[in-house]
Chains A and B, each alone.
Chain A
Amino acid sequence: MGGLIARRLAFMVFVIWGVTFVTFFLSRVVPGDPVRLLAGPRAGKAELAHIRDLYGLDEPLPAQYRRYMTDLLHGDLGTSFVTRRDVTSDIAAFLPATLELSGYALLLGFVGGLVAGSVAAFRRGSGVDAAGRLSAIAGLSVPAFWLALLLQLLFHTQLGWFPLGGRLDASVTPPPHITGLLTIDSLLTLNLSAFSNALWHLALPVVTLAAGVYGLMTRVVRTSVLDVLGEDYVRAAEAKGLTRWRVIRRHVLRNGLLPAVTILGLEFGLLASGVFVVEAVFQWPGLGSYAFNAIQAADYNATLGATLVIAIIYVFTNLIVDLGYLYLDPRIRYS
């Protein structure tokens, strides 16, 4: 088992390196010259050359790459052309908003799909089952931007129940920065008005982002709970005289939810791609928006830094998921 983890870690390092490698070269071959964007339309030749030299953009690509990797190993992600700050501190500023948004979305989608999938399976063939399956297909197939606009139109423009975007109203004083997650920080400082305002802003983007996770979860859980319900060991448990609820909890759910854990990795993927769109539509000041702007401005270092952080999070969460599965399924643990 120790060997397994070591192999996984080595593979993770490889994946992260691969992502930076591809992003590095890809971002430089797509059209768009950051120097021109930076210097402005009236800049002269000398000025352009100066900027190029300043950022080391006049060197050949392999040399640039070597320098980038050396800095990276020292924890330096370079400077953003646009914000002119360290990419590291930019990311530290933007990441919490994304973590807060996607954390709640994951929680909502996971728990919602778990409940909907199990209930649909237990009530197979009923109206509840049909509703569960339909909502799952909707959650999986409705594009995030479309759902986002729909929710804004309905709940902001028409009903006025929720704000259009942002993390907090301008009139609300943000809680002091402790974790960077507004809901947590406001609770820690007992600032209930900031807490409710943050939640209120989270509602629509979280629902939008959770839809895909919910859809996938519901389908997987429904199928696997149905499978488990037909298993001999469930009947054997009933034959022992366990109460229905105990059979469901100990035997049906415990086994039926294993596949749900395996797909957690996939769900992080769904989240990571959805978060760009959702942050853009809801003007959410997170890593997705940051990366989106960076790509548009051909801001190499910022693009690379954001991609790198997303890749690291993705790879680590997958490792944790796998270890969790190892813990939950003894057949794998002992083989």
Chain B
Amino acid sequence: MNAEPVLSVRELVVRFATDAGTVHAVNGVTFDVGAGDAIGLVGESGSGKTVTSLAVMRLLPKAGRIVSGEVVFRGKELTTLSEHEMRGLRGKEISMVLQDPLSSLNPVLTIGEQIAEAIRAHEDVGRRAARERAAELLGSVGIPGAGDQLERFPHQFSGGMRQRVMIATALVLHPKVLIADEPTTALDVTVQAQVLELLHELTKELGTAIVLISHDLGIMARMTRRITVMYAGFVMESAPTVELFARPRHPYTVGLLGSIPRAGADGELRPIEGAPPDLERAPVGCPFEPRCARRIAACRETMPPLVPAADASHLVACHNPVPS
């Protein structure tokens, strides 16, 4: 990483207060995103990827709270920002695309209304001007007949079109950072590729940094320059994408990568034997310990710190890392 990071997450801790007790969803997550950079967050279901990104946006559900840590955006600490100032950043400086493009569009409002409201939330433009920009935007993401399409409703669009709309909307005000939480999971494979291509082109063109969340390591390999591997709300390993694929050091990462067919085709995360830990108990030691083949005595006692492995850009949190 060269330049000053545009977004920097430090030791982020998020907990949920539920009827059953406290859920330790995120337990000290740290990562940086450089301006115009593309990083990935991977991890099994429940590892805290979505909660982390919602915490960055300060859009956690009511029960969730940022307990400690920092989220610094262009030198500004977001965790303590007033709701008013935070609102001014959402959608303008930091945007988000959610996983399911159907459920993230309101079924009773037209596509045009939903794009226009994103513009009008931040810019003092009239209805007409906003509409014109919405039409332009639809054209730019390859939806033909953009003018008429504005009057249509989400259910009249295909999944791929809806996700194009979501991406276009998220990027309409040229944000510095785009968080895309599994943006293609709900789409079929051919459409996935098109949507990713669009995402790639637009962010490149606008110089938007992207935080891509995905289960799909094939997508990660193509789309990101650096990957952060999460497990049970902890960062297990963080390295440049090429390095991570070539020399994974953390036993959990090795388990994940074991699923990628050598041919280089897309691969989903292979389920590693065993189940993630119960997040309702305060974590002690390494959360991966019960499932780890390389565990040693220290693993039950203390959580290993995230430290440089071979070189400074390759970080790993393990008492007994895989030799490179």
Residues of A within 8 A of B (CB): 231-233, 235-244, 246, 250-251, 254-255, 258, 328-331, 334
Our pick among A233, A238, A239 for the contact of B106 (Cβ within 8 Å) is A233
Our pick among A238, A239, A242, A330 for the contact of B108 (Cβ within 8 Å) is A330
Comparing B29-37, B84-92, B251-259, B284-292, the segment that makes contact with chain A is B84-92
Report the separation of the CA atoms of residues A262 and B109 in the bound assembly, to the nearest whole angstrom. 19
A-B interface pairs (CB < 8 A), number:
83
B245 contacts the other chain (CB 8 A): no
* Interface contact A239-B91, CB-CB below 8 Å: yes
Which residue in chain A gives the minimum CB-CB distance to B153? A330
Question: Which 6 residue pairs are nearest across A and B when measured between Cβ atoms?
Answer: A241-B91, A241-B90, A232-B103, A240-B91, A236-B104, A240-B118
* Interface contact A240-B108, CB-CB below 8 Å: no
Known: A236-B98, A236-B166. A251 touches B118 (CB 8 A): no
B59 contacts the other chain (CB 8 A): yes
Residue of A241, A242, A250 ringed by the most chain B CB atoms within 10 A: A241
Report the separation of the CA atoms of residues A233 and B97 in the bound assembly, to the nearest whole angstrom. 11
Which of chain B's residues have a CB closer than 8 A to the CB of A246?
117, 121
* Interface contact A239-B121, CB-CB below 8 Å: no
Report the separation of the CA atoms of residues A334 and B110 in the bound assembly, to the nearest whole angstrom. 13
**25 A-B interface contacts by CB (under 8 A):** A231-B103, A232-B98, A232-B100, A235-B98, A236-B98, A236-B105, A238-B59, A238-B90, A239-B57, A239-B91, A240-B91, A240-B117, A240-B169, A241-B89, A241-B122, A242-B117, A246-B117, A251-B109, A254-B108, A255-B108, A328-B108, A329-B108, A331-B108, A331-B155, A334-B156
A-contacting residues, B65-123, CB 8 Å: 83, 87-92, 95-96, 98, 100, 103-110, 117-118, 121-122
Report the separation of the CA atoms of residues A243 and B96 in the bound assembly, to the nearest whole angstrom. 16
Which of chain A's residues have a CB closer than 8 A to the CB of B108?
254-255, 258, 328-331
What distance in Å separates the Cβ of A87 from its nearest Cβ neighbour in chain B?
Answer: 45
Our pick among B54, B117, B170 for the contact of A237 (Cβ within 8 Å) is B117
Report the separation of the CA atoms of residues A251 and B98 in the bound assembly, to the nearest whole angstrom. 17
Contact with A along B54-66 (1 / 0, CB 8 A): 1001010000000
What distance in Å separates the Cβ of B121 from its nearest Cβ neighbour in chain A?
Answer: 5
Q: List 6 additional contacts besides A236-B96, A238-B59, A250-B117; criterion CB under 8 Å.
A: A233-B103, A242-B91, A243-B87, A246-B121, A250-B109, A329-B107
* Interface contact A240-B121, CB-CB below 8 Å: yes
Our pick among B106, B121, B166 for the contact of A241 (Cβ within 8 Å) is B121
* Interface contact B104-A241, CB-CB below 8 Å: no
Known: A240-B121, A241-B87, A250-B117. A233 touches B153 (CB 8 A): no
What distance in Å separates the Cβ of A275 from its nearest Cβ neighbour in chain B?
Answer: 33
Known: A232-B100, A330-B153, A331-B155. A239 touches B95 (CB 8 A): yes
Which of chain A's residues have a CB closer than 8 A to the CB of B98?
232, 235-236, 239
Report the separation of the CA atoms of residues A243 and B103 in the bound assembly, to the nearest whole angstrom. 20
Q: How large is the interface on B (under 10, 10 to 19, 20 to 34, 35 or more residues)?
A: 20 to 34
Known: A235-B98, A239-B59. A334 touches B155 (CB 8 A): yes
Our pick among B57, B95, B105, B118 for the contact of A233 (Cβ within 8 Å) is B105
* Interface contact A242-B121, CB-CB below 8 Å: yes
A-contacting residues, B158-172, CB 8 Å: 166, 169-170
Report the separation of the CA atoms of residues A235 and B97 in the bound assembly, to the nearest whole angstrom. 10
Known: A241-B90, A242-B117. A331 touches B106 (CB 8 A): no
Which of chain A's residues have a CB closer than 8 A to the CB of B170?
239
What distance in Å separates the Cβ of A280 from its nearest Cβ neighbour in chain B?
Answer: 42
Residue of A239, A242, A328 ringed by the most chain B CB atoms within 10 A: A239
* Interface contact B90-A240, CB-CB below 8 Å: yes
* Interface contact A239-B105, CB-CB below 8 Å: no
Known: A232-B104, A250-B117. A241 touches B153 (CB 8 A): no
Our pick among B107, B117, B166 for the contact of A331 (Cβ within 8 Å) is B107
Which of chain B's residues have a CB closer than 8 A to the CB of A250?
106, 109, 117
Which residue in chain A gives the minimum CB-CB distance to B107? A331
Which of chain A's residues have a CB closer than 8 A to the CB of B104?
232-233, 235-236
Which residue in chain B gives the minimum CB-CB distance to A258? B108
Residue of A233, A237, A244, A258 ringed by the most chain B CB atoms within 10 A: A233
Which of chain B's residues have a CB closer than 8 A to the CB of A254?
106, 108-109
Report the separation of the CA atoms of residues A237 and B117 in the bound assembly, to the nearest whole angstrom. 9
Known: A232-B98, A334-B155. A241 touches B103 (CB 8 A): no
* Interface contact A235-B87, CB-CB below 8 Å: no
Which of chain B's residues have a CB closer than 8 A to the CB of A258?
108
Report the separation of the CA atoms of residues A244 and B169 in the bound assembly, to the nearest whole angstrom. 19
Contact with A along B166-188 (1 / 0, CB 8 A): 10011000000000000000000
Report the separation of the CA atoms of residues A329 and B155 in the bound assembly, to the nearest whole angstrom. 11
Which residue in chain B gives the minimum CB-CB distance to A125? B62
Which residue in chain B gives the minimum CB-CB distance to A238? B59
Which of chain A's residues have a CB closer than 8 A to the CB of B91?
239-242
Which residue in chain B gives the minimum CB-CB distance to A251? B106
Known: A231-B103, A240-B169, A251-B106. A334 touches B153 (CB 8 A): yes
Which of chain B's residues have a CB closer than 8 A to the CB of A244?
83, 87
